[in-house]
Each structure stands twice: as structure tokens, then as C-alpha cells.
Amino acid sequence: MTPAPVSVIKVGGSVLRDAAAYADVARAIFSEIARGPTWIVVSAGAGVTDRLERSLNAGSPSSELGELLDRHEAWNDGPFPAELREGLLARVSTGDPGALPRRLAWGERASAEVLKSRLGRSGRAVPIVELGSSSSLPPERNALVPGFYLREDDGGIRLLPRGGGDISAVLVAAALGSTSVRLWKRGGGIRIDGRALPRVLASDLLPRLEDPIRPIHVEAVRIAARLGIELSLEDPFGGAAATVIESGPGSRSWAYPTGVSPGVILDGIVAPSSGPITEPLAP
């Protein structure tokens, strides 16, 4: 019997603005899971990554971090696990090169925890799965994936570029053998002169993507086109028209063996020596 295809959805921070938004998104995910296997890549809540970065650069007092924790626990409608609480409030050295990656990854992990808790209270136990640099994805039917980073074998954090949750979702799709990714974003699809653009080829869109974060990360589009993965920018609550980004007839659909890790896929597309994804990918 052929296994059901896995639906891959990325929840953008633009739709995760407050407790009501998290509740709405959790209900939408619940419905998606009822239809079939679903992996959800989760961004930090709106504005959280910027605030976490400022807090480290400015050496923010514990009271400010405590307020940020309180906000997340309000979104969660309950206390966080001790690991997450301590991970945010622990003192860090400004000379520690791993401090920023750990703190920014906290926002993604905390956001996934909120959705996990809300789904659990609705009767759906969905695990949180971190993407690994070399470890393969576990055989879960459903999962919540913190975006924007990979977990190294030694426990360290490898950050993707800002807005990299879109890249995380494409990597998940490639690792699971899915041919499409749905990206839930505030405002849905792309508009030109006030009109919705229903479909567009990646090759036509890429020259117009000057901002690497909005409406979609340019490298996510490049990688998806290389892998033959279709992207759909959607409003999760149906308030705005969607845009489908097609990889195009000239794209190469690369088939990866079962069990390959997202990190291996990423490094197979971008040479490790090139560092973070910032330059155009070679054809």
C-alpha cells in the first residue's frame, strides 16, 4: 500500500501575533492533521526574533527577558517546560559566539511549544522535531519543526539567514519526498498593482525579489526551483488570495534517498565553503 503523501506547511511569524492567533492556527493545524500526515515548520512569533537579537546586543536585564517569557506563556495559556524557561533566562557572555544562535533559536522553539501545547489540549499529541545537520528526520506522521536553524551533532546551533524558516520548510519537503510547500503568511499571496497574482514561474519571480524576507525568502524560491518543489503563499484563514510559485518545466527534481538529513540536502546545493546562503546559487 502506497503511504499517504505528507503535507508540508510553514507558519510565518506574521500570523502568530497573539494568543488568539496561536489558537486559530492550532485549530487550522488540527484540521490539516485530520486530513493526512502533516509536518508544520514554525516561525517565532511576530517581532520576537528582533527582540531577542536586541536583548543580547544590549545586554538586556533579566526583567525584560522575563517579560518576553511571560508573553509566551500567555500565548501558551500555561507555563513553559523548565528547559525553555532556563534557556531564555540563563546568563550569557557577550564573548560567547554561540550565544546569539541559541537565543534566536529559542524564539522558534518556544513558538513550536505553544502550538504543541494547544494541539495537545485538543487531543492531538504532535512532537517537536528539530532539523539536524546530519541526522535524518524521524518517521513521524505529524511533527512541529522550529524553523530558521539546524541542530549540529555537537548540540550547537547553525542559523539560516533571517527569514530562513521558508528555507527550512523546503528542506523538510525535500527530505520527506514532498513536491509542494504551503507557506501561511499574513496577506496571503503576491500582489501587483493591487491585484493578486495567482501563479508565477520561479524564474520570473526571482529577479523581482529584492527583499530576502518578504514576501518569501529568495533562497527558498531558488532551492525549491532546483528541487522541483512548488510553493504556495496562502492566508491560512482564507482572507486573501494565494499565489502558487511553480518550479517550471526546466527545473530538475532531485530525488534524495529515504532518510537523508536536511543538512545534507542543504550542503549538497550550496557548497559548505560558501558559508551562509547569501549568494545566488550556481545553475
Give the pLDDT band of residue 183 (cuts 50, 70, 90): very high
pLDDT value of position 58: 62
Render pLDDT for 9-36 as a digit per residue (tens, 0 to 9).
999 999 999 999 999 999 999 999 999 9
Q: Which domain holds residue 194?
A: 7-274
Pick from 186-195, 216-225, 242-251 the range whose average pLDDT is largest: 216-225
Q: Are the C-beta atoms of 176 and 136 separated by less than 8 Å?
A: no
* Mean pLDDT, the chain, integer: 84
279 in a domain, yes or no?
A: no
pTM of the model: 0.88
35 in a domain, yes or no?
A: yes
- Domain of 224, CATH number, reads 3.40.1160.10
| Cross-strand pairs, 181 | 231
Give the pLDDT band of residue 283 (cuts 50, 70, 90): very low
Residue 272 has pLDDT above 50, yes or no: no
Task: Give me the number of domains the chain comprises.
Answer: 1
Render pLDDT for 199-214 as a digit per residue (tens, 0 to 9).
999 988 888 876 544 6
Residue 135 has pLDDT above 90, yes or no: no
160 in a domain, yes or no?
A: yes
Cβ-count burial of 101 within 10 angstroms (0-12 exposed, 13-18 middle, 19+ buried)?
middle
175 in a domain, yes or no?
A: yes
Give the pLDDT band of residue 260 (cuts 50, 70, 90): low
1 in a domain, yes or no?
A: no
24 in a domain, yes or no?
A: yes
281 in a domain, yes or no?
A: no
110 in a domain, yes or no?
A: yes
Residue 89 has pLDDT above 90, yes or no: no
Cβ-count burial of 227 within 10 angstroms (0-12 exposed, 13-18 middle, 19+ buried)?
buried
